[in-house]
């Protein structure tokens, strides 16, 4: 693999590694949202039974339990990145990431102490410092976790097989990994404070464009969708959520860096009726309300256009496929299956799709909408839109319904005009998806292995949320026509000797079956 392709693969791996902590945050955010909404005074006035002491005790307990996740987001990122980025001994990588995270912050504390920059406790929030697991350090938030995760994964892959002289043999192998991680973390702890100031200046300059009330949401959602095919959209969203590029917000005298950190405070601790709630439109314009335009309005419209443009003989069967493609993001926030069904065969159509959602995001922001958290499902709309006051949830319908209508007619016209082979328009589309529908993963695995040139041609198999990711010895051995009979909704080649095969939410079970087939 060339150096350029190797870098691309590593960046993609990094983007995937961010999924694990985000996957934990999403359901816990729903629990936190429900419990926090139901302890608000205005909700108790509407539903008096919520004022019951036992009910309040349960709700406040759920709030405290789920809130611990959001109090330790950087640590979650440290473990998630270490697990996702390491190729060997993932368990020791996660263990080392926690040690690295602790050492990183205590070293930063030492640096601040030595240089006389350690702020007084009552002033540390004013200079970007805070308490991290009992250590006063720089508030680098998720970035600190990411640095620790990268250190741990590098040390694991590089040093887990290190053999030391006999006198120190006990510390060889995986036991050497956390030790060497400590050394790298100490170095990083002295470097980070030096570059942090300059990085902050650059990110704040970038945020001047991104945070623009008119262009910001459009730029953010457009970049997010453009990065979807490369698996890098999580890198971009984390950039907005956890760094100064997403803004720096002062709430009750305390500074919060990044959109999500501020949103956590306003949504879960401050609540409607407080002065901080006025920040909500500025925060949510980069968050799930834009995703809701896709999952609740545009994607159902795309699905309907696909159905109406499918061949008559295929309509009965394709209806089930499209229902699955539409319900998956509607209920689960996973948009890739339907996006991949036209992205790779009609990039121009995907470009139109991006322009439409960017326009919608701009209008939502202009209307002062304050809906959502980090996911765009119907459940999140109910929790973070309907259950909270002063969210202007109705703006989603004001913008979403016309956007859905426009999406439907534009897609219906362009699919026919450009003869886009969306589900049901190709002659053999009906047979392709029966295997997935019937959960015949062993059959799928046999087709995948055979179409990729057999066991000897497959170097490694991984998966993300929707895609099987395979490294090959020789790309010329790939039989794409045979591969398409496996039930995949898309195949593409992002790098030399590397292939992505889209199977949607069932991809993990496909991967298990492929691994079993390779081992047989």
In the chain, the number of structural domains is 3
Task: Label residues 262-275 b or e (16+ Cβ within 10 Å = b).
Answer: bbbbbbbebbbeee
Cβ 220 vs Cβ 289: under 8 Å: no
Question: Same domain, yes or no, for 105 and 180?
Answer: yes
pLDDT at site 204? 62
Mark whether 127 and 171 lie in a shared domain: yes
377 lies in the same domain as 292 = yes
Do 483 and 456 share a domain, yes or no? yes
* Burial call 75-112: b when 16+ CB within 10 Å, e when fewer: bbbbbbbbbbbbeebeebbbbbbbbbbbbbbbbbbebb
- Is there a domain that residue 368 lies in? yes
Question: Looking at residue 186, what is its pLDDT?
Answer: 98
Q: Where are the beta strands (DSSP E) in 54-165?
A: 129-132, 135-138
Which among 354, 373, 517, 359 has a CA at the least distance from the CA of 450? 517
Co-location of 400 and 442 in the same domain? no
Same domain, 391 and 472: no
What is the residue range of 495's domain? 433-519
Are 292 and 406 in the same domain? Answer: yes
Flag whether 23 is in a domain.
no
Residue 2 neighbours by CB distance under 10 Å: 10
CA 204 vs. chain centroid, Å, equals: 23
pTM over 0.85: no
DSSP 119: -
Question: What pLDDT, on a 0 to 100 scale, did the predictor assign at position 402?
Answer: 98
In this structure, the answer to whether residues 404 and 456 fall within a common structural domain is no
Residue 213 has what pLDDT? 65
Joined together, the tokens standing for residue 234 give 């999580």
Local confidence pLDDT in tens for the 520 residues of the chain = 556 666 666 766 776 677 678 767 767 877 877 887 788 777 788 789 999 999 999 999 998 998 888 788 889 989 999 998 998 889 999 999 999 999 999 999 999 999 999 989 887 866 678 889 999 998 887 889 989 999 999 999 999 999 999 888 899 999 999 999 999 999 999 999 998 877 766 666 766 777 776 888 999 899 889 887 665 676 678 778 887 778 889 999 888 988 998 999 999 888 888 999 999 999 999 999 999 999 999 999 999 999 999 888 778 767 877 888 888 788 878 787 788 778 877 889 999 999 999 999 999 999 999 998 888 888 889 989 998 889 999 999 999 999 999 999 999 999 999 988 787 776 444 344 678 878 899 999 999 999 999 999 999 888 876 788 898 999 999 999 899 888 887 788 877 888 989 887 688 899 999 999 999 8
Phi, psi dihedral angles at 49 (to 5 degrees) = -65, -20
Identify the pLDDT of residue 8.
63
> 360, 382, 417 — which closes off a domain?
417
User: What's residue 5's pLDDT?
Assistant: 61
The answer to whether residues 390 and 450 belong to one domain is no
pLDDT of residue 430: 39
Q: Are residues 339 and 459 in the same domain?
A: no
- Residue 162: phi and psi, rounded to 5, are -70, 130
Q: What is the pLDDT of residue 431?
A: 42
Q: List the structure tokens of 3.
A: 């150096």
Give the tokens for residue 96: 């080392």
Task: Give the per-residue pLDDT at 139.
Answer: 81
> d(Cα 112, Cα 339) in Å, to the nearest integer?
48
Cα(103)–Cα(135) distance, integer angstroms: 10
Question: Does 456 share its domain with 410?
Answer: no
Let me know: does 343 contact 350? Beta carbons within 8 Å. Answer: yes
Does residue 371 lie within any of the structural domains?
yes
């Amino acid at each position: 693999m060339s150096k350029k392709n190797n870098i691309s693969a590593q960046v993609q791996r990094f983007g995937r590694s961010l999924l694990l902590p985000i996957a934990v945050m999403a359901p816990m955010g729903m629990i936190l949202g429900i419990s926090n909404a139901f302890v608000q005074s205005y909700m108790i006035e509407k539903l008096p039974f919520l004022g019951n002491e036992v009910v309040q005790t349960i709700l406040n307990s759920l709030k405290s339990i789920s809130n611990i996740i959001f109090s330790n987001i950087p640590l979650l990122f440290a473990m998630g990145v270490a697990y996702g980025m390491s190729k060997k001994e993932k368990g020791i990588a996660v263990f080392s990431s926690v040690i690295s995270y602790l050492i990183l912050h205590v070293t930063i504390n030492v640096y601040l102490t030595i240089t006389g920059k350690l702020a007084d406790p009552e002033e540390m929030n004013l200079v970007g410092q805070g308490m991290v697991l009992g250590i006063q350090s720089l508030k680098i938030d998720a970035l600190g976790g990411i640095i620790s995760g990268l250190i741990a994964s590098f040390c694991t892959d590089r040093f887990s097989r290190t053999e030391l002289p006999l006198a120190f043999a006990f510390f060889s192998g995986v036991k050497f990994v956390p030790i060497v991680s400590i050394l790298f973390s100490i170095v990083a702890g002295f470097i980070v404070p030096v570059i942090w100031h300059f990085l902050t200046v650059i990110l704040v300059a970038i945020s001047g464009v991104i945070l623009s009330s008119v262009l910001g949401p459009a730029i953010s959602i457009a970049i997010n969708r453009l990065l979807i095919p490369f698996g890098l959209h999580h890198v971009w969203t984390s950039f907005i959520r956890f760094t100064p590029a997403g803004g720096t917000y002062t709430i009750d005298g305390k500074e919060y860096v990044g959109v999500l950190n501020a949103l956590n405070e306003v949504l879960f601790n401050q609540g409607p009726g407080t002065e901080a709630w006025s920040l909500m439109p500025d925060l949510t314009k980069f968050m799930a309300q834009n995703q809701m335009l896709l999952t609740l309005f545009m994607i159902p419209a795309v699905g309907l256009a696909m159905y109406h443009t499918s061949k008559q003989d295929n309509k009965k069967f394709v209806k089930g496929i499209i229902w699955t493609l539409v319900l998956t993001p509607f209920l689960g926030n996973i948009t890739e299956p339907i996006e991949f069904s036209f992205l790779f065969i009609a990039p121009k159509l995907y470009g139109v799709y991006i322009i439409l959602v960017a326009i919608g995001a701009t209008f939502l922001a202009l209307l002062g909408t304050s809906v959502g958290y980090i996911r765009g499902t119907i459940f999140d709309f109910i929790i973070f839109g309907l259950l909270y006051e002063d969210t202007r949830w109705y703006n989603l319908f004001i913008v979403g319904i016309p956007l859905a209508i426009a999406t439907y007619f534009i897609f219906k016209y362009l699919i026919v005009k450009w003869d886009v082979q969306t589900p049901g328009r190709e002659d053999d589309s009906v047979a392709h998806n029966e295997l997935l529908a019937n959960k015949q993963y062993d059959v799928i695995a046999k087709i995948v292995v055979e179409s990729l040139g057999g066991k000897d041609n497959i170097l490694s198999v991984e998966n993300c949320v929707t895609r099987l990711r395979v490294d090959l010895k020789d790309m010329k051995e790939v039989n794409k026509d045979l591969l398409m009979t496996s039930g995949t909704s898309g195949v593409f080649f992002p790098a030399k000797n590397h292939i992505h095969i889209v199977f949607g939410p069932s991809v993990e079970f496909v991967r298990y079956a492929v691994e079993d087939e390779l081992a047989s």
